[in-house]
Amino acid sequence: MVMPWSSPLCTMPSKSAFFSQPRVEATLQPPSSIQKRKRDESSDSEDDLAELFEPDPQPAWSVETPCVLRMMLQRRRVSTVRPEHHKVFTKLLEDPVVKKFLTWDKMLRVSDKYLLSMVIAYFSRAGLFSWQYRPIHFFLALYLANDMEEDNQAPKQDIFYFLYGKSYAQRPMFHKLRFQFIRSMGWRIWVSQEECEEIQAYDPELWVWTRDRTKLT
């Protein structure tokens, strides 16, 4: 009698056969080439992140003094003066009162070329339409330019003397209008020499740019 487990089809493997089979690892290890590629990709991504968060390189030069910083800021400034501001200024120069004043100020005490170029700069900052400017705005801007740039404040009184004579009645109103003019400019009343020269270069043949105080004999 042949026992069922003695049949070749039903032969049970021996215990030694179990131990002789290779053991399957629980975690499959990727080939070395895949590991290397992953390491390369990881390093590339780390480099990209490093470049993303790395601060911008510092320039080779360094600002050591406030004077140098001021010059750098001036070079980066973009002028807001537009052709219509030059046009309205040129038109006001033909006004009889303005023309008489410029003729009267022979020694250029309050109306040399730099102070006049500041008038154009103030016109560009005040935010008024071109048709709104009147001769009074010219004198307000010129007074403010002298107030900002001139160490000697006495010549400013020449503007009052020319406009009102010896009367003091209109001066408070003038100062009130001056305050409103400054406020309309957003309190931006400082004008650099570079901007003044840029304004003069727009129309270098304009006759008022010959009013150079340094050339007076």
Question: How confident is the model over 54-104, as pLDDT tens digits?
Answer: 444 444 333 445 555 455 444 445 567 889 999 999 999 999 999 999 999
In a domain, 15, yes or no: no
Question: Looking at residue 112, what is its pLDDT?
Answer: 95
In a domain, 22, yes or no: no
Number of Cβ within a 10 Å radius of residue 63: 13
- The pTM is what? 0.64
In a domain, 89, yes or no: yes
In a domain, 151, yes or no: yes
Written in H, E and C, the secondary structure of 172-192 is HHHHHHHHHHHHHCCCCCCCC
In a domain, 37, yes or no: no
In a domain, 207, yes or no: yes
How many structural domains compose the chain?
A: 1
Helices then strands, each counted (H, E), the chain: 10, 0
Q: What angle do CA 138, 144, 150 make, to 5 degrees?
A: 120
In a domain, 202, yes or no: yes
- Residue 143: which of 132, 159, 127 has the closest Cα? 159
Q: Judge contact between 177 and 144, C-beta under 8 A.
A: no
In a domain, 8, yes or no: no
> What's the average model confidence in pLDDT over 134-144?
96
Q: With bands split at pLDDT 50, 70 and 90, how would you rate the model's confidence at 216?
A: confident
Q: Provide the residue range defining the domain that includes 207.
A: 80-211
Task: Quote the percentage of the chain above a pLDDT of 70.
Answer: 63
Mean pLDDT, the chain, whole residue set: 76
